[in-house]
C-alpha cells in the first residue's frame, strides 16, 4: 500500500510527490493518463526536433530564490537553467506604433515606461508600487496555506488589510490609472501569460506575472521534458513510482474520507480496471475535473462538495489556445531567443472576436517562442501561440487527433498560414525558412491533459475566483487535497509553489519547517542514476521497468540501427506495442517492439533525426546496459472498424515506410498467415529494409518513388493503392510517419476497409 496517491504528473503534482518522498520518506504513486510524464512540462518530438508544450519561459529563477531552491531539491541539482537574453520579451504593437523590449530589471522597466510616456510619469510610478503590493498580497496567500495553523490567523488579517487593488479587474485598473491607450495596450499585451483577458482578470494575476519576470527569464537546459524524469528519481528512491497510461476514473470514498482511486490501465490493447488504496489522495488534474468527474456529485459526497461545485460553475472557463509548431531550415536574422508578442488590435482585446479572426486565418495577436535556442538544441524550432475560445472547436468534440476530417484540417491549415504570416511581419524571412508545420488546438490540449475545453490555466484568475476562496489545497473531503495551479497560481512556478503548499498541508503543522530545512540543507536522498541500477520494478498495473543488456547492434542500412536487447526475465507484449528506452540520464524514447514476446527485445532505430535517441542507437554496443519500460501502446483503430482480428478471417495487408516495418516483424514472428501481404515504400531500393531482416516475410510489394527498379512498383504507396484499389474485406495495418499514415488512411477508409494504424 502506498502512503499517498497523486493523480496527474504536472509540475504541481510532481512537486507534492517529490517533497513527500524526499522530506518524509513517503512511498508515493503518481498516476498519469498520457504516455509521457510531466503534464504541461512535457515535450514532444518529430524527427529529432522537440517542442515544449507548456513551458516557454520561467521567472524568479535566479540563484538563491525560493523557486530555484525548490527545483534544485526536487531534481537533486540535475536541472540546469539557461538565462534568456536580458531583453527577454519584445512587444510589437503596430496599431500604436510601438516596438518595446522589456529589460530584466524592475527599476529599468519603470525608467523605460517613463521615457516612452513621460506624460504618465506619476501614474507609472503608482502602478509600479501597486504591482509590488499585489504581488506581496498573493505571496501572503501562499504562506497562509503553508505555515502552521497558529500562524494562519495573523496572515489572513494581513491579507484583509492589504488587499488594495489586487482584486480589481485589470482593465478597470488600467483605465482608472492611465489616459494613454497605447500605454494600456503595452502593459496588458502579455495577458496570455496568465490566460484571462484584461476585461475579466484580477489585477493580482497581472501583477504576479509582471513581478515574476522582473529579474529576467530562464529556460531549462535541454528543454522541459526532462524535468519529470528528474523528479521521478526522488520519488522512486523511497519506493514510489510514476505509472503512465493510467486513467483515474473515480476517487474512492469511505465514510466521508478519500481512501484510494479506481483506475483504467490503458497501457495495453485492452483497458484493465483496478483499485489502489492509500490514506492520502492528491489530485493535480484541476479543481473542476476533480469535483465534477472524479467525485460523486450526488449523495453524501455530493452534498459536501455542492458549494464548491457551484462556485466553480459560476466562474466559467479560462482561456485556451491554438499553437503552431514549426521546424525551420535556419533561424532568420535577428532571432536571439527572446520571445516576441505581436498585437495588431488598437482596442481592448476581445477574445470572441480574436477567435473569429483566427479561424478565418486573420489572427490579431500571437506569442512567438524559440525553444531550440532557449534549450540549446541543434534544431531550429518555433512555437506560435494565439489564444482562442474552445467553443469554436465544439463540432469536433469526441474525435481523435489525426481523425477529425478534412474540414478540421482546412481550418487548422488556415490558422497556421495566418499565424505564420503574422509572425513573419515581426520576423522577416520566417515563412521562407519553414520546413514542417504542426497545429494543436484546444481539442489537442483536452485530449492529452483532460482539461475541459483545453483550458490549460485551470480556473480563470478573475476577482471572483479569489473571493470564492478557490485558491487552496484543502477540500471538503478528509484525506483529499488539490495540487497544481488550481491550488495556487498558474504557470510553472505558480503550480510548483502550490505543490509545496499541498505538501505542507499533508505533512501537518510541522510540514512547513521540515520542508524549509530540506530546501536549505539540500541533502540529496538519492543518486541521480539510482533507478538505473534496478532490474525489474514489481508493479500491479502498467508497464514494468527492466535493466536489459545489448546482445547485438548492427547497421541494417546507413541510417537504420538494428538493436537486440536481453531482458532479465521473460516479458509479454503484442504486435503494435512499444518500449520506452532510456537514451540519456533523464531522456526516454519510444521504439516499436520488432520481435515476439520473450526475453529478447528487438528495436529498429532511424538515426537520421540526430537527436539523443539516434546518438544512443549509433553508439550502443554489445554488453551495454539499457533501462527500458514495456509494454506500452496498441494499434489505433479507425472509427469505422467493424470486427476484431479474432472475428475477421480475411487477409491482412501491412503497409509500412522505413522503420515502420518494426511492429509488423513482431506480428510475423507471432504468426504469419499464408495470405498476408506486406507493402513497403521507400525513395530508392537502397533504403528498403526488407532484404536485410532475418524475419520470414509474407508476399512483398515494394513501392519505389525515385527510381524505376525491376520487380517493384514505380511510385508512392498512395499511387499503388489508387491504382490497385482497396479490398473492403481485408484488414489493413499501417505504420510510418504521421503525414504518410494520414494520406494512406484516407484512401483505405474511402475504400470501405478496416484499418489499424500507428505513427512515429
Residue 609 has a pLDDT of 83
**Contact (Cβ atoms closer than 8 angstroms) between residue 690 and residue 667:** no
pLDDT band at 308 (very low <50, low <70, confident <90, very high): very high
Cα–Cα distance, 656 to 688 (Å, whole number): 11
CA neighbor of 365 nearest in space, from 354, 377, 381? 354
Q: If you ran DSSP here, which 8-state letter would residue 474 be given?
A: B
Cα–Cα distance, 113 to 214 (Å, whole number): 14
Answer yes or no: do 747 and 646 share one domain. Answer: yes
Cα–Cα distance, 589 to 723 (Å, whole number): 37
On the question of pLDDT at 647 being above 70, the answer is: no
CA neighbor of 602 nearest in space, from 669, 658, 541? 669
Distance (Å) of CA 449 to CA 59, 69, 367, 396: 24, 27, 21, 17
What tens digit of pLDDT does each residue of 160-219 get? Answer: 777 889 999 999 999 999 999 999 999 999 999 999 999 999 999 999 999 999 899 999
Q: Is residue 528 part of a domain?
A: no
On the question of pLDDT at 525 being above 60, the answer is: no
pTM, entire model: 0.92
Residue 523 has a pLDDT of 60
Between CA 145 and CA 239, with CA 147 as vertex, the angle to 5 degrees is 80
Report, as an integer, the average pLDDT of 441-456: 89
Cα–Cα distance, 351 to 361 (Å, whole number): 15
The values of phi and psi at residue 96, to 5°, are -115, 5
pLDDT band at 48 (very low <50, low <70, confident <90, very high): confident
Answer yes or no: do 467 and 448 share one domain. Answer: no
How many domains would you assign to the chain? 5
Cα–Cα distance, 731 to 252 (Å, whole number): 41
Please count the other Cβ atoms lying within 10 Å of the Cβ belonging to residue 494. 27
Answer yes or no: do 44 and 112 share one domain. Answer: no
* Domain membership of residue 345 as a residue range: 319-454
Q: Is residue 92 part of a domain?
A: no
Cα–Cα distance, 434 to 431 (Å, whole number): 6
On the question of pLDDT at 536 being above 60, the answer is: no
Answer yes or no: do 341 and 429 share one domain. Answer: yes
Cα–Cα distance, 747 to 737 (Å, whole number): 16
Answer yes or no: do 145 and 112 share one domain. Answer: yes
Residue 671 has a pLDDT of 87
Final residue of a domain: which of 596, 615, 633? 633
Tell me the CATH number at 288: 3.50.50.60
Final residue of a domain: which of 180, 197, 215? 215
**Contact (Cβ atoms closer than 8 angstroms) between residue 260 and residue 278:** yes
Answer yes or no: do 628 and 678 share one domain. Answer: no
Q: If you ran DSSP here, which 8-state letter would residue 265 be given?
A: E
Residue with cell 519505389: 704
The values of phi and psi at residue 30, to 5°, are -110, 125
The values of phi and psi at residue 73, to 5°, are -65, -50
Residue 151 has a pLDDT of 77
**Contact (Cβ atoms closer than 8 angstroms) between residue 264 and residue 244:** no
Q: Is residue 570 part of a domain?
A: yes
On the question of pLDDT at 534 being above 60, the answer is: no
Lookup: cell for 205: 494575476
Answer yes or no: do 207 and 167 share one domain. Answer: yes
**Contact (Cβ atoms closer than 8 angstroms) between residue 15 and residue 483:** yes
Answer yes or no: do 40 and 134 share one domain. Answer: no
Q: Is residue 584 part of a domain?
A: yes
Lookup: cell for 74: 526536487
Sign of the Cα pseudo-torsion (462, 467, 473, 479, in order): negative
Cα–Cα distance, 579 to 560 (Å, whole number): 18
| pLDDT, averaged across the chain | 91
Amino acid at each position: 500500500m502506498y502512503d499517498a496517491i497523486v493523480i496527474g504528473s504536472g509540475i504541481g503534482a510532481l512537486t507534492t510527490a517529490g517533497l513527500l518522498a524526499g522530506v518524509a520518506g513517503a512511498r508515493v504513486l503518481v498516476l498519469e493518463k498520457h504516455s509521457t510524464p510531466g503534464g504541461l512540462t512535457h515535450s514532444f518530438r518529430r524527427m529529432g526536433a522537440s517542442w515544449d508544450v507548456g513551458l516557454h519561459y520561467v521567472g524568479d529563477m535566479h540563484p538563491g530564490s525560493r523557486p530555484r531552491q525548490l527545483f534544485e531539491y526536487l531534481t537533486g541539482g540535475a536541472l540546469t537553467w539557461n538565462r534568456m537574453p536580458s531583453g527577454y520579451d519584445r512587444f510589437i504593437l503596430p496599431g500604436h506604433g510601438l516596438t518595446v523590449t522589456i529589460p530584466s530589471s524592475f527599476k529599468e522597466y519603470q525608467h523605460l515606461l517613463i521615457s516612452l510616456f513621460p506624460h504618465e510619469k506619476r501614474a507609472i510610478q503608482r502602478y509600479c508600487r501597486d504591482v509590488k503590493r499585489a504581488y506581496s498580497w498573493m505571496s501572503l496567500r501562499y504562506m497562509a496555506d503553508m505555515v502552521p495553523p497558529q500562524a494562519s490567523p495573523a496572515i489572513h488579517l494581513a491579507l484583509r488589510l492589504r488587499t488594495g487593488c489586487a482584486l480589481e479587474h485589470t482593465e478597470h485598473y488600467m483605465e482608472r490609472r492611465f489616459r494613454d491607450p497605447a500605454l494600456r495596450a503595452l502593459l496588458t499585451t502579455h495577458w496570455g501569460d496568465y490566460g484571462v483577458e484584461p476585461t475579466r482578470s484580477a489585477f493580482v494575476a497581472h501583477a504576479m506575472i509582471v513581478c515574476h519576470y522582473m529579474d529576467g527569464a530562464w529556460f531549462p537546459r535541454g528543454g522541459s521534458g526532462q524535468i519529470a524524469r528528474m523528479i521521478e528519481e526522488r520519488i522512486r528512491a523511497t519506493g514510489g513510482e510514476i505509472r503512465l497510461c493510467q486513467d483515474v476514473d473515480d476517487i474512492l470514498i469511505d465514510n466521508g474520507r478519500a481512501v484510494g482511486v479506481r483506475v483504467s490501465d490503458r497501457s495495453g490493447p485492452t483497458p484493465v480496471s483496478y483499485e489502489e488504496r492509500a490514506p492520502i489522495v492528491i489530485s493535480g488534474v484541476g479543481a473542476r475535473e476533480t469535483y465534477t468527474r472524479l467525485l460523486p456529485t450526488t449523495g453524501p459526497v455530493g452534498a459536501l462538495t455542492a458549494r464548491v461545485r457551484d462556485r466553480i460553475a459560476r466562474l466559467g472557463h479560462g482561456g485556451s489556445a491554438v499553437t503552431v509548431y514549426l521546424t525551420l531550415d535556419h533561424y532568420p536574422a535577428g532571432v536571439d531567443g527572446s520571445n516576441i508578442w505581436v498585437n495588431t488590435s488598437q482596442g481592448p482585446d476581445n477574445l470572441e472576436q480574436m477567435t473569429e479572426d483566427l479561424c478565418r486565418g486573420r489572427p490579431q495577436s500571437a506569442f512567438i517562442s524559440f525553444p531550440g535556442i532557449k534549450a540549446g538544441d541543434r534544431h531550429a524550432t518555433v512555437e506560435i501561440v494565439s489564444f482562442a475560445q474552445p467553443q469554436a472547436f465544439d463540432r469536433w468534440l469526441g474525435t481523435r487527433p489525426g481523425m477529425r476530417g478534412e474540414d478540421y484540417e482546412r481550418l487548422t491549415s488556415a490558422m497556421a498560414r495566418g499565424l505564420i504570416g503574422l509572425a513573419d511581419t515581426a520576423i522577416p524571412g520566417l515563412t521562407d525558412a519553414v520546413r514542417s508545420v504542426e497545429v494543436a488546438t484546444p481539442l489537442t490540449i483536452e485530449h492529452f491533459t483532460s482539461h475541459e475545453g483545453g483550458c490549460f490555466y485551470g480556473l480563470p484568475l478573475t476577482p471572483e475566483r479569489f473571493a470564492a476562496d478557490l485558491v487552496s489545497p484543502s477540500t471538503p473531503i478528509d484525506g483529499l487535497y488539490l495540487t497544481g495551479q488550481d491550488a495556487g497560481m498558474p504557470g510553472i512556478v505558480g503550480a510548483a509553489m502550490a505543490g509545496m503548499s499541498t505538501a505542507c498541508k499533508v505533512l501537518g503543522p510541522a510540514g512547513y519547517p521540515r520542508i524549509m530545512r530540506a530546501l536549505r540543507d539540500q541533502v540529496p536522498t538519492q543518486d541521480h542514476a539510482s533507478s538505473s541500477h534496478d532490474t525489474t520494478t514489481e508493479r500491479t498495473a502498467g508497464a514494468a521497468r527492466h535493466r536489459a543488456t545489448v546482445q547485438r547492434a548492427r547497421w541494417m542500412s546507413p541510417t537504420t540501427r538494428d538493436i537486440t536487447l536481453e531482458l532479465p526475465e521473460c516479458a509479454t507484449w503484442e504486435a503494435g506495442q512499444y518500449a520506452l528506452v532510456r537514451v540519456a540520464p533523464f531522456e526516454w524514447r519510444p521504439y516499436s517492439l520488432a520481435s515476439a514476446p520473450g526475453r529478447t527485445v528487438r528495436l529498429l532505430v532511424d538515426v537520421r533525426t540526430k537527436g539523443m535517441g539516434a546518438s544512443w542507437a549509433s553508439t550502443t554496443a554489445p554488453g551495454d546496459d539499457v533501462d527500458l519500460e514495456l509494454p506500452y501502446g496498441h494499434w489505433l483503430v479507425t472509427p469505422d472498424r467493424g470486427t476484431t482480428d479474432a472475428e475477421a478471417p480475411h487477409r491482412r495487408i501491412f503497409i509500412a515506410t522505413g522503420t515502420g516495418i518494426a511492429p509488423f516483424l513482431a506480428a510475423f514472428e507471432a504468426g504469419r498467415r499464408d495470405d498476408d501481404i506486406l507493402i513497403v515504400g521507400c525513395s530508392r531500393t537502397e533504403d528498403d529494409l526488407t532484404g536485410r531482416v532475418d524475419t520470414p516475410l509474407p508476399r512483398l510489394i515494394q513501392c519505389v518513388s525515385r527510381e524505376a527498379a525491376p520487380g517493384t512498383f514505380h511510385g508512392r504507396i498512395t499511387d499503388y493503392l489508387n491504382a490497385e484499389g482497396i479490398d473492403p474485406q481485408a484488414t489493413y495495418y499501417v505504420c510510418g510517419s504521421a503525414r504518410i499514415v494520414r494520406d494512406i488512411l484516407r484512401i483505405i477508409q474511402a475504400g470501405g476497409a478496416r484499418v489499424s494504424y500507428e505513427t512515429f
